[in-house]
A and B are shown apart, each in its own frame.
Chain A
Amino acid sequence: MALLESSNLTMRFGGLTAVDDFNLRLLPGELVGLIGPNGAGKTTVFNMLTGRIRPSSGSILFHTDQQVNIIGLKPNRVNRLGIARTFQNIQLLPELSVLENVMMAWHGRLKSPFWAPIFGLPSYRREEEAMIEGSLELLDRVDLLDLVDTEAGNLAYGQQRRLEIVRALATRPSLLLLDEPAAGMNPNETNDLMRLILEIKQDFSLTILLIEHDMKFVMGLCERLIVLDHGVTIAEGLPEEIRRNEQVITAYLGERRRADH
């Protein structure tokens, strides 16, 4: 049984085929990397998997034994099913505090109706307490505890990335999608991040799919890699195999050559 399976996933924007016939099978507990040069369609894959955009064709099943169809669901529904993500260009609530940023991710699971807090019902108060408790615990994991009252917009870059990760965790996902989590981090922070990812994967029994340009990071962390180029899957396999794959090297070389000009 696979946790997530997509078949023949295709996304066209006007004349541009951003993702072409993408097939993905994620087993529970895997840590898979999705790599490829700029504009390869990686983020587009995430957008399709989370309901942000509707694929032009193809299917996505979550929990293949239960055949949960993701296509056509709104992002909030997809999240409630257990798929959480972070964003390539950080999407926090800059004017709310760090703690509120995490607590907000609890809201989708809230059982109390809107009038419960208005009348101060104990059932709501218990939920709110649990929310605070849980959020603080999560923030403690990423060393943001002393910053709970800071506005999220005032955090340093690396801290914002970590905050986004715990916010995603707060939605209690079984599948976590990380879009370039190490972007803009220095080597030290990147090392910490690798450790953090392994830790949370263990503790929350997560399946993780991540996009990253930092090859050392990807090779060191991922159990399996998928390589996209111009929307097409050009290789798939163990990090070692990918490192030696001719086609992949050409794709990346092409990219470097383009960048040089």
Chain B
Amino acid sequence: MKDAMQYRQARQRWSTKNRRRNRILTLAAVLCTCGLLFFANRFADEYQIRILNMVAIYITLAVSYNLINGITGQFSLEPNAFVALGAYSSALLTMTPMEKGMNFIIDPCAPWLAQICVPFLPAVIFGGLMAAFFALLMGFPVFRVRGDYLAIVTLGFGEVIRVVANNLQTVTNGPLGLKGIAPYTDLWWTWGLAFVTLFVIIRLVNSSYGRALKAIRENELAAESMGINSFRHKLLAFSMAAFFEGMAGAMLAHLITTISPMLFTFFLTFNLLIIIVLGGLGSLTGSVIAAIAFTWGSELLRAVEEPTDIFGWFTIPGIPGMRMVIFAVILIAAMLFWREGIMGRKEFSWGWLFGLVPGGKQKKSV
């Protein structure tokens, strides 16, 4: 060893020494959130709880979406499709035969489906698996040839899901959609899923697999030449993102209890795109922050679509659809002038936080 001192220092910086402390802190943070949720559950009104649920679902979606778009650098436009898949799967699986009978009034439900009725959790997981399955199916041909077709293939897939949901009367009940889905989803479920998603994806990203994904994003030529199978890793990232998006879709179905093909338009994907861009493409922390800010902000923005009264003097008429125009402008402006977003590609870490506090001696922790 040429320089034992330096070596030891470097070794230490990258070692597991602070893992224990970090783990405890993370656990504490999760418990704090749980405490807040507990209070919210008791004291918040219905509207606030709905927003909190949406925040959790958006966190789940944004973090998964960032895994494929930001971390792996493969531009896809799929979330609305996978959310729809998960929502329909879970809704159909949990409906009792009687509920199905009440829903399918034009054409009866397909016999193979009519008798199926499973509990919530398996249904949610199945929703995720469905999404992951279709992700593999699409990813296989796309990643084999040219990754930049992924965007158009997934965009097309979103349209196909809509077409199928509208036409496959005996399975999806067509344009009427499904009503009276059991309202299983509550704060614990949505936030539970958000935490699981965060846990799994953060662990993956911080592992050797995450390094491989980032290597593919930064320089695919180099990654492949160093023995990384980029095809397989893109498939992994894509299907894992789909899995969590499908589960989030299931949560959504059991939250709003009524779904129809109209619900899963490209608008959902567009929202998520704004979130991950504003948060920073490639930063999971950024996605979480932006998901919270966006859900809240887009509620505020509803104002532009409703008439506004200014001190009772005069009324500005609301412009329906204006919100979407504003969103589009935000996205374009962010790409042109603020490509880094809130976090760039940086992540939150406890070590960083301690570095901010005067006297914190940790320079960098992993």
A and B touch in the complex (CB under 8 A): yes
When the two chains form their complex, are residues B219 and A91 in contact, meaning their CB atoms are under 8 A apart?
A: yes
Residue of chain B at shortest CB distance from A127? B208
Q: Which of B14-65 contact A (CB under 8 A)?
A: 14-16
When the two chains form their complex, are residues A148 and B226 in contact, meaning their CB atoms are under 8 A apart?
A: no
When the two chains form their complex, are residues B209 and A107 in contact, meaning their CB atoms are under 8 A apart?
A: yes
Cα–Cα distance between A103 and B226 once the two chains are bound (Å): 10
From residue B60, how far is it (CB to closest CB) to chain A in Å?
16
Q: How large is the interface on A (under 10, 10 to 19, 20 to 34, 35 or more residues)?
A: 35 or more
Query: If the complex has contacts A85-B225, A108-B227, are A117 and B207 also in contact, measured as CB distance less than 8 A?
Result: yes
Q: Label chain A's interface by main secondary structure.
A: helix
Q: How large is the interface on B (under 10, 10 to 19, 20 to 34, 35 or more residues)?
A: 35 or more
Q: Which of B176-233 contact A (CB under 8 A)?
A: 199-200, 203-204, 206-209, 211-212, 214-215, 218-219, 221-230
When the two chains form their complex, are residues B225 and A114 in contact, meaning their CB atoms are under 8 A apart?
A: no
Q: Is A131 interfacial (CB 8 A cutoff)? A: yes
Q: Is A95 interfacial (CB 8 A cutoff)? A: yes
From residue A118, how far is it (CB to closest CB) to chain B in Å?
5
From residue B57, how far is it (CB to closest CB) to chain A in Å?
22
Residue of chain A at shortest CB distance from B237? A114
Across the interface, which residues of A come within 8 angstroms of B236, CB to CB? 114
Cα–Cα distance between A57 and B232 once the two chains are bound (Å): 29
Cα–Cα distance between A92 and B219 once the two chains are bound (Å): 7
Across the interface, which residues of A come within 8 angstroms of B219, CB to CB? 91-94
When the two chains form their complex, are residues A171 and B364 in contact, meaning their CB atoms are under 8 A apart?
A: no
From residue A126, how far is it (CB to closest CB) to chain B in Å?
12
Q: Is B2 interfacial (CB 8 A cutoff)? A: yes
Q: Which of B5-13, B244-252, B267-275, B330-338 lies at the binding interface?
A: B5-13
From residue A258, how far is it (CB to closest CB) to chain B in Å?
30
Across the interface, which residues of A come within 8 angstroms of B309, CB to CB? none
Q: Is A175 interfacial (CB 8 A cutoff)? A: no
Could you say which of B209, B221, B226 contacts A117, with CB atoms under 8 Å apart?
B209
Q: Is B3 interfacial (CB 8 A cutoff)? A: yes
When the two chains form their complex, are residues A104 and B223 in contact, meaning their CB atoms are under 8 A apart?
A: yes
In this complex, which of A112, A114, A148 has the most chain B Cβ atoms within 10 angstroms of its Cβ? A114
When the two chains form their complex, are residues B207 and A104 in contact, meaning their CB atoms are under 8 A apart?
A: no
Residue of chain B at shortest CB distance from A132? B14
When the two chains form their complex, are residues B7 and A52 in contact, meaning their CB atoms are under 8 A apart?
A: no
Q: Is A189 interfacial (CB 8 A cutoff)? A: no
Across the interface, which residues of A come within 8 angstroms of B226, CB to CB? 76, 79, 84, 104-105, 107-108, 167-168, 170-171
A-B contact pairs, 16 of them (CB 8 A): A76-B228, A79-B226, A79-B227, A84-B226, A92-B219, A94-B219, A108-B229, A114-B209, A118-B199, A128-B207, A128-B208, A136-B14, A140-B7, A148-B10, A148-B14, A149-B13
| Additional pairs, 7, CB under 8 Å, beyond known A92-B222, A132-B15 | A52-B221, A91-B222, A108-B226, A118-B199, A118-B207, A140-B3, A148-B13
Q: What are the 6 A-B residue pairs with the smallest beta carbon separation, nearest first?
A: A108-B227, A117-B207, A79-B227, A91-B222, A93-B218, A75-B224
B residues in contact (CB < 8 Å) with A: 1-3, 6-7, 10-11, 13-16, 199-200, 203-204, 206-209, 211-212, 214-215, 218-219, 221-230, 236, 345, 364
A residues in contact (CB < 8 Å) with B: 50, 52, 74-76, 79-80, 84-85, 87, 91-96, 99-100, 103-110, 112, 114, 117-118, 120, 124-125, 127-128, 131-133, 136, 139-141, 143, 145-146, 148-149, 167-168, 170-171
